[in-house]
């Protein structure tokens, strides 16, 4: 009889593996050979080590395989023990001590499919009356199986990096009609080096989820679904700790949480506005913000994208220059906005309200600078938290003014004062992080930024115009009341767009790193993220289509009920918008911004032509349909372009290496 002992270790435990190998040799079992597998820590799981060991032992043609951890001691196995094990079972283990407890195999919970070791009341090393016990699984610290088992069950499942790989193998063995049990005549001690593994609880949870998905039936799914709140509560500390360890996940979740919270707050404000304002007043309210937003991208001058994509967190002097430039630009653009509003619309009230709200341009410049720097530090959550606190207070004030019927002037005056306060606060907070040196930006620096970011300037301007042009055309052809109805429906869609923006900010550092050292990972991430976000967007759109007629009329007044139909249509732009967000983010990093600019120019032309032709005939319904069609076209154009750019980079790097 030939016995192959496969010991799985990492570099740090190699000496223990060697000592255990020598221990097996001293047992003087004829036909026994040991094989030590040294895994790469963090990269190769236990199953991968087992499979490598089986491959190493292939030419030896063993009758029995013994898989062992290096942290075993007090081991006393004889040839007769192995023969007894093979005679009674196809896969087996032994009685063992771990810590202060004695275990003899394990059981799988029939409801949750969690695996737990079976405790024993006998003293360590004593022979039990029942020498052979059938169990659900055998501890992977020391597990034996015959060549018949290997031929029927096959190799170990390498999808389990750590933990549950032994459980999964035993389950497969039982499904193949094989016997799984424990020989209690033999004992050993497991020192359990893994208890020092800081990620043990996380790896256990991940492996259990994988095992559950692979083996759960309807009963298990229903049970776990009902138990989900308790499960999340039990894992609350683990979930939070794991999120904090992953800057991308933490920043992404924080951005999404705060953005969602702010959207919900604005939604509450919106409900009050449509209840207390007429369609004309609400239309004017939205037109003011459309005016503010029209030129605001030019106040950025592409500096946000430039800062995130090109600055280093150590470049404090350059960041100060960027901060100064953004301040000057905000003043210039606020002035341009007021002049444009006065000359084009020639409405005193619109001009006055725009004047009251103009501090938002300065506040946006300061808070945007703070976002740039915290993104470089992978601490974007700071900008999210401050924004949430500020918006919560502001919306509380505005709701009070709306309920008190203070009018539009009071609303915009309060917003102007509060945005000014926020700008000062964020300025001081930024100065604490980076020690700003504010100075008048030199023309040469402006030219330097413009030469690197002129495409970003065009991009932000055209993108902003793309999302505002329909309101301006509606106001021209149909008046403020129709603008109010369309804006009421579109507000619900706007509440969902934050997913794309949050994704872009949080995913950028990951893509940047992949582009430096792991090009193949870029393509995988593009495909994975696109599928995930498209599925999420389509799910939201489908649910919204059926739920909107039931829910939205309860929120909207009689004057705004037409907004329900607007939302039901435009929400189907969401899945395509999210796919475009993934692809455009990569195009930015691949320095293909000019491709994105050309796409937006095309979309604006189609948007303008479509709205000018069809708005006079079909009013806001035409604007809603055109929005969806433009987003579909956007996705259709960006997906092949991003893969073309990716393949171009791969070819260039391949040529350089050759």
pLDDT given for residue 628 in this prediction: 94
pLDDT digits (tens, 9 = 90+) for 550-580: 888 877 777 788 889 999 999 999 999 999 9
pLDDT given for residue 411 in this prediction: 93
pLDDT given for residue 276 in this prediction: 87
Average pLDDT over residues 192-203: 68
- 508 has a pLDDT exceeding 70: no
Domain 3-197 falls under CATH 3.90.1150.10: no
Number of other CB atoms surrounding residue 484 within 10 Å:
29
H or E, element range at 105: strand 101-108
| HEC-encoded secondary structure of 171-198 | HHHHHCCCCEEEEEEEEEEECCHHHHCC
pLDDT given for residue 252 in this prediction: 62
- Give the Å distances, CA to CA, from 395 to 257, 261, 407: 17, 12, 15
Instruction: Compute, in degrees rounded to 10, the torsion defined by CA atoms 464, 466, 471, 473.
Output: 130
- 635 has a pLDDT exceeding 90: yes
pLDDT given for residue 658 in this prediction: 47
| DSSP 8-state symbol, 378 | T
Q: Looking at 196-200, 441-445, 603-607, which range is the least confident one?
A: 196-200
pLDDT given for residue 149 in this prediction: 92
Orientation of helix 279-300 relative to helix 359-376, angle to 10°: 50
Could you give the angle at the alpha carbon of 515 between the alpha carbons of 510 and 519, nearest 5°?
110
pLDDT digits (tens, 9 = 90+) for 35-69: 888 887 767 788 888 998 999 988 888 888 999 88
DSSP of 584-650: HHHHHHTT-HHHHHHHHHHHHHHHHHHHHHHHHHHTHHHHHHHHHHHHHHHHHHHHHHHHHHHHHHH
Question: What SS3 class is residue 117?
Answer: strand
DSSP of 76-96: ---HHHHHHHHHH-SEEEEEE
3-state helix, strand, coil in the chain (%, to 5): 75, 10, 15
pLDDT given for residue 246 in this prediction: 62
Q: Are 111 and 128 in contact (CB under 8 A)?
A: no
Question: What SS3 class is residue 160?
Answer: coil
Q: Are 94 and 186 in contact (CB under 8 A)?
A: yes
Q: Looking at 76-90, 378-392, 642-656, which range is the least confident one?
A: 642-656
pLDDT given for residue 582 in this prediction: 85
- 193 has a pLDDT exceeding 70: no
- 322 has a pLDDT exceeding 70: yes
- 194 has a pLDDT exceeding 70: no
**Does residue 531 or residue 646 have the better pLDDT?**
531
- Give the Å distances, CA to CA, from 172 to 136, 156, 178, 431: 11, 10, 9, 61
pLDDT digits (tens, 9 = 90+) for 372-418: 888 777 777 788 889 889 999 999 999 999 998 888 999 999 999 99
Q: Largest Cα–Cα distance in the chain?
A: 101
Residue 554 contacts by C-beta under 8 Å, 6 or more apart in sequence? none
**Helix and strand numbers, DSSP H then E, in the chain:** 23, 10
Q: Percent of the chain scored above 70 by pLDDT?
A: 88
Chain centre distance of CA 352? 42
pLDDT given for residue 275 in this prediction: 82
- 122 has a pLDDT exceeding 70: no
For the chain, the average pLDDT equals 83
pLDDT digits (tens, 9 = 90+) for 327-362: 888 999 999 999 988 888 778 888 999 999 999 999
H or E, element range at 65: strand 64-68
Question: What SS3 class is residue 280?
Answer: helix
Local confidence band at 197 (pLDDT 50, 70, 90 cut-offs): low
Local confidence band at 656 (pLDDT 50, 70, 90 cut-offs): very low
**Which residue spans within 316-443 are E strands per DSSP?**
none
The span from the CA of 259 to the CA of 380, in Å, is: 12
- 619 has a pLDDT exceeding 60: yes
Q: Are 300 and 460 in contact (CB under 8 A)?
A: yes
Domain ranges of the chain: 3-197, 270-441, 489-658
- 596 has a pLDDT exceeding 90: no
Q: Residue 298: CA atoms inside 13 Å, Cβ hemisphere, count? A: 13
Q: Percent of the chain scored above 90 by pLDDT?
A: 22
Q: Which of 4-13, 103-112, 420-429 has the highest mean pLDDT?
A: 420-429
**Does residue 408 or residue 590 have the better pLDDT?**
408
The span from the CA of 409 to the CA of 417, in Å, is: 12
- 522 has a pLDDT exceeding 60: yes
Q: Looking at 85-89, 94-98, 511-515, which range is the least confident one?
A: 511-515
């Amino acid at each position: 009889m030939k016995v192959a002992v496969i010991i799985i270790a990492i570099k740090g435990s190699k000496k223990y593996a060697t000592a255990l190998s020598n221990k097996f040799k001293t047992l003087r079992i004829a036909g026994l050979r040991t094989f030590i597998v040294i895994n790469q820590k963090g990269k190769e799981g236990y199953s991968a080590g087992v499979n490598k060991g089986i491959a190493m032992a292939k030419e030896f043609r063993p009758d029995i395989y013994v898989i062992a951890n290096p942290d075993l001691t007090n081991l006393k196995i004889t040839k007769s023990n192995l023969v007894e094990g093979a005679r009674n079972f196809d896969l087996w283990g032994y009685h063992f001590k771990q810590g202060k407890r004695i275990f003899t195999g394990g059981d799988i919970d029939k409801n949750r499919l969690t695996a737990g070791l079976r405790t024993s009341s006998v003293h360590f090393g004593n022979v039990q009356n029942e020498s052979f016990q059938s169990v659900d699984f055998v501890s992977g610290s020391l597990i034996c199986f015959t060549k018949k088992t290997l031929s029927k069950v096959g190799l170990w499942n390498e999808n389990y990096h750590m933990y549950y790989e032994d459980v999964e193998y035993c389950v497969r063995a039982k499904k193949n009609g094989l016997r799984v049990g424990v020989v209690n005549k033999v004992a050993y001690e497991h020192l359990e080096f893994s208890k020092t593994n800081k990620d043990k609880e996380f790896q256990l949870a991940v492996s259990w989820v994988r095992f559950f998905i692979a083996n759960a039936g309807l009963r298990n799914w229903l049970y776990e679904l009902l138990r989900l709140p308790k499960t999340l509560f039990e894992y609350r500390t683990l979930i939070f700790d794991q999120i904090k360890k992953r800057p991308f996940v933490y920043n992404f979740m924080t951005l999404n949480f705060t953005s969602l919270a702010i959207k919900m707050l604005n939604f509450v404000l919106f409900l009050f506005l449509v209840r207390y304002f007429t369609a004309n007043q609400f239309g004017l309210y939205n037109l003011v913000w459309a005016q503010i937003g029209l030129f605001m991208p030019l106040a950025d001058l592409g500096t946000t994208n430039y800062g995130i994509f090109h600055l280093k967190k150590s470049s404090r002097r350059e960041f100060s220059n960027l901060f100064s430039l953004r301040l000057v630009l905000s003043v210039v653009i606020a002035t341009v906005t007021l002049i444009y509003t006065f000359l084009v619309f020639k409405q005193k009230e619109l001009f006055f309200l725009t004047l009251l709200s103009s501090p938002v341009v300065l506040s946006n410049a300061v808070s945007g600078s703070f976002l740039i720097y915290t993104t470089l530090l992978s601490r974007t959550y700071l900008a999210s938290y401050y924004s949430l606190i500020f918006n919560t207070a502001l919306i509380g004030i505005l709701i009070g003014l709306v309920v008190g019927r203070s009018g539009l002037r009071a609303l915009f005056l309060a917003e102007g004062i509060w945005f000014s306060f926020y700008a000062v606060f964020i300025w001081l907070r930024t100065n604490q992080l980076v020690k700003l040196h504010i100075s008048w930006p030199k023309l040469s620096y402006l030219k330097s930024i413009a030469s690197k970011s002129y495409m970003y300037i065009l991009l932000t301007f055209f993108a902003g115009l793309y999302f505002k042009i329909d309101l301006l055309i509606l106001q021209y052809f149909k008046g403020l009341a129709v603008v109010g109805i369309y804006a009421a429906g579109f507000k619900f869609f706007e509440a969902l767009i934050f997913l794309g923006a949050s994704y872009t900010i949080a995913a950028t550092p990951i893509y940047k790193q992949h582009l430096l050292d792991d090009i193949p990972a870029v393509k995988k991430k593009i495909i994975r993220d696109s599928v995930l976000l498209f599925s999420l967007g389509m799910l939201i759109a489908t649910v919204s289509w059926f739920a909107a007629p039931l829910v939205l009329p309860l929120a909207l007044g009689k004057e705004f009920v037409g907004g329900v139909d607007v939302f039901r249509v435009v929400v189907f732009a969401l899945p395509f918008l999210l796919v475009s967000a993934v692809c455009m983010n990569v195009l930015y990093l691949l320095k293909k911004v000019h491709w994105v600019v050309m796409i937006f120019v095309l979309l604006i032309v189609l948007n303008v032509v479509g709205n000018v032709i069809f708005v006079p005939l079909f009013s806001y319904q035409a604007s809603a349909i055109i929005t969806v069609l433009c987003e579909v076209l956007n996705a259709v154009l960006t997906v092949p372009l991003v893969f073309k750019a990716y393949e171009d980079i791969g070819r260039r790097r391949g040529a350089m290496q050759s």
